[in-house]
Amino acid sequence: MDAEQWIEFLQMEEHPEGGYYKSSFTSEDGMDFQSHKGERPLYTSIYFLLRSQDLSHFHRLKSDELWYYHAGSALTVHIIDEDGAYRQERLGIAIVDGEKPQVLVPKGSIFGSTVDREDGFSLVGCMVAPGFDYNDFELFTQKQLKADYPQHEEIIERLAYTELP
């Protein structure tokens, strides 16, 4: 299947950070967490699809996010951790080439993703715990990130918005 078939089959919609998504699971159990305002489900999960012409722009969550590879090309997750260190994680199944079928993005990290294969797409799953809520979601502009992380100017210019949508 190609990207458009997956988008249609899974009834995905555009995500504010870029790409397409569809909520797949939300825990029926919830609780209050000290790090979050109000009750959150224990976990939430989505399908996320990114095409090579799309970007998942730099954003941050107050929760851990675990990514799972499903189909298509490998995906690169670009992460600036809370200490300001930058790293890339390749999400895919070519383990001998350094890809991983699961990647954890720790809470508080700034991250985005790309499909590096031209004319490719990647279908992944993302589980957030405690569960995702837009109140815990933060998008960034290039200006904001360059002020804090000037050493990562090149990747910031690639993955951060010039202006927020």
Give the torsion through C-alpha atoms of 71, 80, 23, 133, to 10 deg: 170
- 128 neighbors 113 (Cβ within 8 angstroms): no
In this predicted structure, what is the pLDDT of residue 103? 98
Answer yes or no: is pLDDT of 36 > 90. Answer: no
Phi, psi of 150 (to 5 degrees): -60, -25
pLDDT, mean over the chain: 95
Alpha-carbon distance of 58 to 158, in angstroms, equals 9
Q: Which two tokens stand for residue 59?
A: 């954003």
Alpha-carbon distance of 8 to 30, in angstroms, equals 31
- 47 neighbors 12 (Cβ within 8 angstroms): yes
Answer yes or no: is pLDDT of 32 > 90. Answer: no
- Sorted by where each starts, the structural domains of the chain and their CATH numbers stand as 3-31+39-159 (2.60.120.10)
Using one digit for the tens of pLDDT, what is the confidence trace for 109-159? 999 999 989 999 999 999 999 999 998 999 999 999 999 999 999 999 999
In this predicted structure, what is the pLDDT of residue 59? 97
